[in-house]
Every structure is written in structure tokens, then in C-alpha cells.
Structure 1
Amino acid sequence: MPFYAIDGIVPVVHPSAYVHPTAVLIGDVIVGPNCYVGPGASLRGDFGRLVLEEGANIQDNCTMHGFPGTDTVIEVDGHVGHGAVLHGCRVGRGALVGMNSVVMDGAVVGERAMVAACAFVKAGQEVPARSLAAGIPAKILRELTEQEIAWKEAGTRDYQNLTLRSARSMVEVRPLTEMEDGRPRYSGGEAKPKKAGG
């Protein structure tokens, strides 16, 4: 698993977190309890400090980085979608940053706020708590509904469960040459064999 120290600073990963073997953690990176770091994620703590607080996730092909002396933080239950870039910013408690979004230096995504997919949150911008931001540059569109917040919280719980599933069962294998009969399908909880005709 690619963990690298730089200038004697070693990444920290809580034993209950899951970091995929293809993710890269360099230097001043702190991954808290029950966090998930996806395949191909790059967390470069070679200048600023990078922090994932409890229950946060940063998904595949995401990048975290920051300028010297800065902290880039994903707070408790923060959720960062595939391919997003976080640079010197703060993602608030229970907030979501959508796929392929960019959140720049000094920006703050407020508690339980959402940044839509492919948005650009410019340096120093604040996304208020429980708000939706979208566009290039991102604009505050409206307050989130209770249903949207519940949807996000359910998705974060799925990733917290994925942390447990990955730690328990993910192993490197050789692929099969053809699909087997009764191939299992994940349907929440454990993978289950597909029922005939189902």
C-alpha cells in the first residue's frame, strides 16, 4: 500500500479506516476512524495538512492538497464524490462535494451543504449550511430539502458500511474467464446469490 513519509512526517490512518491499496498518502495526512479512501485517490500532505474526520469518505480518483501552512479538512461524515479536487478548503460536517467538482483555497462548504457535480467553488467562497451550490463558478441556488439531506446521509452510511465490507472482504484476485451460474449480486448487507428468474 503506497504510504510515504516526507521530511520525516508519516501519514496517520486509524485502524478502523479503510484506505484502498491503490490510493496514495504522502506526509501530513490524518485519516480518522471509520473513514473510507477510494481507489486511485491522491492525498498529498507534502505542503499543507490533510484531515479526514470520523466517518468521512473521499472516493476514487479524488485529489486533496493544500499550500504550506494550510489545512484541508473533510469534517465528520463529509462525503466527497468521484474525481473531486479539494485544495486548501474545508468541507463541513455532513456536507457533500459532488463528482468532478473543484473546491479551492480558503473555501468553506457549510454543514450539511451540497456542491453539485462538476461545480467550481472559487477561492474564499462560502457555501452556507444546508444550501445547494452549482455551476462554474458555483452559485448558491437554494436551501436543501429535508429529503435531500436524508438522501445524502443515507449515501454516507452506505460508504461507512463499505469501509467495513472492504476491510472484511476485499482481496486481490485473478478474474474469472466467464460468468458463473448463480453469480452473487450485492443488494445491501451481504452479497447474495441471484435467484433463478430474478
Structure 2
Amino acid sequence: MNPINGAKALLHRLGFAMRESGQALERVGCRLQGIYSFEEKLSRHASVLPMRYNVPSLAKSSWVAPSGMVAGSVTLGENSSVWYGAIVRGDFQPVTVGANSNIQDAAYVGATSEFSPPVVIGDNVSIGHGAVLKGCTIGDNVLVGINAVISENVEVQAGAVVAAGAYVEEGAVVPSGEMWAGNPAKKLRNVKAGEAEYLKMLPGRYTELAGEHKGVMKVLKLKQAEYYV
């Protein structure tokens, strides 16, 4: 065996053993705490994970909720946020999220396989609660509604709306300024002027709200440090 490869393999095994030991100690500690283990103030869930030698690239002003997850080749732009229970996976293909965009609670963003196209999400985009985006391109100032599904090779152009619960079939193009709904999704109508303004305003509200949540997390970290002194 090549000495370099041998050293890498040894380090990998050592790291694996250390992680397993840590998890074992965690389980023992919980048993010793008994019914009081629930008093932990912060989740130990790992929000940002390397995957296949790729480490997420997050802007300093972005935010990932404690129970959210960003893994692998993921780029998160300025003031963008990944909310509670949301998953952004860049294991098969890269995921790029622009500035001032939000991926709301329990949404999923990623590729289905290594043959899927990358996911590209523009600026000022709101991805609703429970939505699923797979190998698609989302333009700027777009709203993807609650529980909507965007399939592979779909392009949602700037200023469009995908209504709640819609299923956009593979390869479809949602033109700029249109609202699509249904299963399979089709054009419902044009986006109204007031709605277009709302699309531009909504991401800013999530940016402000993410700042509040970040502040709460900092306070909890300080309290946790006091708790264990």
C-alpha cells in the first residue's frame, strides 16, 4: 500500500473510533442524567456537514437553524436562511442559493442522483414550508408555495409564483410573471402588480426574523455555558 494512502486510512479509522467513543459517552451521560437529560438548552444536531470532501460555503450573514441541515457542496448567499427542519443537500450535485433567500421549515432542496442537474436558487426567493425542490433552477423574486414540488430540469423564471401544493412536472418552464397551480401544475393566471411587490418584500421579512432567531441562539449558548460551569 502507498504510505500516503496508508496514513490517510489510519487517520480515517482513528477519527471514526473517536467519534464512536464520543457517541458512546453521550449515551452514558444521558443515562446518568436520567429524567433530567431533557433540560439541555440547545440541540446537539449538526447543522452544517461536509459531504464527499465538499464543505458548505455560508456567508457570514446567513443563518441555518439548529434543527436544519446544510450538507456538502452548498453555497448560501448573504442574508439567506435555512429554517427549522429544512434540508439542503449538496451530496450528488451542488446547490447554490443567492442573497436574501429563505428556505422555510421542513423544506427539502437537493438533487435526486449524480445524474440530476445542480440546484440554482436566485436572490430574494422564498421556498415555502414543506416544499421539495429537486435539480431545478429558480429565478429571482420567486415564491414557491407550501408543500409545492418542483421536479428535475424545471426552470421557474424571475417573478413567478408556484402555488401551494402544486406539482411542476419534469422539464417544465414557468414563465416570468405567471402563477402556476395544480397537479400537474399549469398556468392559473398572471401575477398581479400587488403580488409582485409582495414577492420582493417577503424575503426581507424573513431576513429580519432570522436575525432575531440568531440573537436568541447566542443568548442560549451563553446560558448553556453558565449551566455547565
| Interval containing the TM-score (normalised by the shorter chain) | 0.7 to 0.9
Q: Deviations over 1:117-140 (max 9, x none)?
A: 000011110000011000000001
Q: CA deviation at 1:154?
A: 2.3
Matched, 1:6 2:51: yes
Which residue is equivalent to 2:215? 168
Deviating 4+ runs (over 6 angstroms): none
Q: Which 5+ residue runs of structure 2 have no aligned equivalent?
A: 1-45, 222-229
Which structure features the higher share of helix residues? 2
Is the CA contact 2:65–2:82 (under 8 Å) kept in the aligned structure 1? yes
- Aligned pair count reads 173
Asked which structure has the greater CA Rg, the reply is 2
Matched, 1:100 2:140: no
- How many Å separate the matches in 2 of 1:147 and 1:93? 17
Which structure features the higher share of strand residues? 1
2:176 is paired with a residue whose SS is coil
Identity of aligned residues (%): 34
Instruction: In structure 2, give the amino acid aligned to 1:125.
Output: A
- How many Å separate the matches in 1 of 2:154 and 2:138? 8
- Give the TM-score of the pair, scaled to structure 1: 0.83
Q: Deviations over 1:144-191 (max 9, x none)?
A: 111111122222221121122222234559xxxxxxxxxxxxxxxxxx
Matched, 1:123 2:166: no
Is the CA contact 2:47–2:65 (under 8 Å) kept in the aligned structure 1? no
1:163 is paired with a residue whose SS is helix
- How many Å separate the matches in 1 of 2:56 and 2:119? 14
Q: Which 5+ residue runs of structure 1 have no aligned equivalent?
A: 174-198
- How many Å separate the matches in 2 of 1:172 and 1:89? 37
- How many Å separate the matches in 1 of 2:190 and 2:162? 12
Which residue is equivalent to 1:46? 91
- How many Å separate the matches in 1 of 2:118 and 2:51? 17
1:151 is paired with a residue whose SS is helix
